[in-house]
Amino acid sequence: MPPLSRLLSPALLVATTLGLPHVALAANGHVSITKNGGNICMISNGLPNHSTGRFPNRGNPNSIHAQNIKVCVPQNPKKGSQAKFVRGSIGFALNGVMIRPGTADFYDASSRRGFSRQGNRNWRLEGMGAHELLGMDANNAHVDERGLYHYHGKPTGFLSGNNSTLVGYAADGFEIHYAGSSVISGYSLVAGIRKDGPGGRHDGTYEQDWQFTGGSGKLDQCNGGMLNGQFVYFVTDSYPYVPRCLWGKVSSGFGR
> Looking at the 3D structure of the chain, how many domains does it have?
1
Measured at the CA of 3, the angle between CA 2 and CA 7, to 5 degrees, comes to 100
Residue 31 lies in a domain: no
Each residue's pLDDT expressed in tens, for the chain with a length of 256 residues: 333 333 233 343 443 334 433 333 344 889 999 999 999 999 999 999 999 999 999 999 999 999 999 999 999 999 999 999 999 999 999 999 999 999 999 999 999 999 999 999 999 999 999 999 999 999 999 999 999 999 999 999 999 988 999 999 999 999 999 999 999 999 999 999 999 999 999 999 999 999 999 999 999 999 999 999 999 999 999 999 999 999 999 999 897 6
Residue 32 lies in a domain: no
pTM (predicted TM-score): 0.89
Q: pLDDT tens digits for 135-146?
A: 999 999 999 999
Residue 19: predicted pLDDT = 40
Residue 176 lies in a domain: yes
CA distances from residue 19 to 108, 111, 115, 194, 228 in whole angstroms, order as listed: 47, 49, 44, 48, 17
Residue 55: predicted pLDDT = 93
Residue 142 lies in a domain: yes
Residue 91 lies in a domain: yes
Residue 1 lies in a domain: no
DSSP H helices, 9-122, are 10-18
DSSP H helices, 86-166, are 156-159
Task: Give the strand order in the sheet containing 175-178.
Answer: 141-143, 149-151, 98-99, 91-93, 166-170, 175-178, 230-235, 224-227
Q: Please tell me the distance from the alpha carbon of residue 150 to that of residue 100, in angstroms, as a whole number.
A: 6
Residues of the domain holding 221: 43-246
Residue 37 lies in a domain: no
